[in-house]
Amino acid sequence: MSKISDDKIKNICCLGAGYVGGPTMVVLADRCPKINVFVTDINEKKIAEWNSKDYNNLPVYEPDLDRLVKKNRGKNLFFTTNIKKAVENADIVFISVNTPTKTKGLGAGYASDLKWVESSARLVGEFAQGHTIIVEKSTVPVRTAELIKKIIKNFTRTNTKVNIKPKTFSVLSSPEFLAEGTAIKDLEKPDRVLIGGEDKDSLHILSLIYQNWIPKEKIFLTNLWSSELSKLTSNAFLAQRLSSINAISALCEKSGADVNEVSKAIGADTRIGSKFLNAGPGFGGSCFQKDLLNLVYLCRFYNIDEAANYWEKVIELNEWQKDRISKLIINVFFGTITSKKIVLLGFSFKPNTNDVRESPAISIALELIENGANLVIHDPKVTENQITENIGPNKRNSLNCESTDGSWSFTRNIEEAFTNADAGVIITEWEDYYKLDWLKISNFMRKPSWIFDSRGTISENDLNGTEINLWKVGKGFSLKK
């Protein structure tokens, strides 16, 4: 049982200052002004960006995040690379580190790589003082808490020296359920908060902290394994819905149905609901594919091959949707897009975030470049460096260079992007793109002009008076005579 009472929580440490740890701790500090919150990371550049006076330069973009950082940083919210000191003083340590899919070894391509979780557990074991509550916040495979317990057990000791408390630990699971782009809203008014664990005192303490702003009835207490598995299962179900509606979008295009009308009709069924029924170029982000792969691995580990095959099909459908859109664009130009100037609108995997991990834009861009296209990429928040990290450096410095190899360039100027462009492809449904003046844009483009709307954001009326041909996901082609 824990040796700490709920009114003595003074310091909280978070290991990991990324997309989960940063926003989560910012909101916690805002809603718990009596608790000092220390967000730590070994990445000095990332911590420097969190401490930047330029609040537009934070390493994570989320609406309203900059305001909360400005409000609380230096008061009870601190960003630091001094992990040792932060852990030593912490009553609670959140582990919010990356858990990428393994690239080699046992389970490569499916299982999560837990090296950062392991190293975090060792840091806590080494530096913690007295009793410490460890909270898994990262998305982890079921029974990861068992690994953490085994690691910290080696550091648990009874100290006979005067005024030095023995090291003791409690391990809880409290997974995040954030949607990037609405993370602050999700943290401030969550659908539910999950806490899994065996130590009733620690469960109670963490619950009381959350209750500073979250109604008690929205806080679910479970065992450790249910909490860990619930996160994987939640993401798997959401991903399955997206793959399902994308499969139907292809059928709509062939049959004359409109996927938006189909989505509205089935979403009105209260047993189904309307969320996550928007057709698109495929799901992205740091969680869906990784968690699905993890679920496939777990099912196979426990010899449940039929279930593993089912979840793997969700991933395969997602890859098929991205490939389908790339090939559709190429086929419109009779199989040859060499030297065609194509504008990609959006590179982040969804709007209101600068996260590009597993973005559909990556595979679509690579496929078009491989087929010789000259891409011009536009995104309101993603940087050119992020694009380079994901699709490689531009092979040519000039779009006028004679070569069969494709190329790409980056701009934040829409008019510049569409000047002499043959086509535009809407990848991310940024609000900026809903406001585009297509009549004006059409005057910059070469004829015949094309827009491929993989998000269903454009109506035929938006293109009135233009000579732009339209392909819209889940509806098909609308051609100018």
Q: Do 134 and 121 contact (CB within 8 A), yes or no?
A: yes
Residue 343 is inside which H or E element, if any? strand 341-345
Residue 231 is a catalytic residue: yes
Residue 287 is a catalytic residue: yes
316 is written with which tokens? 């395969």
Return the number of other C-beta atoms located less than 10 Å from residue 45's C-beta.
8
What is the amino acid identity at position 78? F
User: Can you say whether the dihedral through the CA atoms of 137, 142, 144, 150 is positive or negative?
Assistant: positive
SS3 27: helix
**CB under 8 Å to 265, separation ≥6 — which residues?**
none
93 is written with which tokens? 């340590």
DSSP string, 233-268: HHHHHHHHHHHHHHHHHHHHHHHT--HHHHHHHHHT
Of 13, 14, 252, 287, the active-site residue reads 287
Of 46, 102, 167, 231, the active-site residue reads 231
User: Can you say whether the dihedral through the CA atoms of 172, 177, 180, 181 is positive or negative?
Assistant: negative
Return the number of other C-beta atoms located less than 10 Å from residue 170's C-beta.
25
**CB under 8 Å to 92, separation ≥6 — which residues?**
9, 12, 13, 132, 133, 134, 135, 205, 206, 209
Exposure string of 86-122, with b = 16+ CB inside 10 Å and e = fewer, is bbbbbbbbbbbbbbebbeeeebeebbbbbebbbebbe
The owner of tokens 């099909």 is 313
The owner of tokens 């949607």 is 179
What is the amino acid identity at position 132? T
Residue 478 is inside which H or E element, if any? strand 476-478
Residue 62 is a catalytic residue: no
215 is written with which tokens? 């109604």
Of 176, 228, 358, 429, the active-site residue reads 176
State the Cα torsion 228-18-150-162 to the nearest 10°. -130
Q: How far apart are CA 423 and CA 375, in angstroms?
A: 10
**CB under 8 Å to 118, separation ≥6 — which residues?**
147, 151
> What is the CB-side half-sphere exposure of residue 154 using CA atoms within 13 A?
10
Residue 294 φ/ψ region, left for φ over 0, alpha for ψ in the -120 to 50 degree band, beta for the rest: alpha
List active site positions.
176, 231, 287
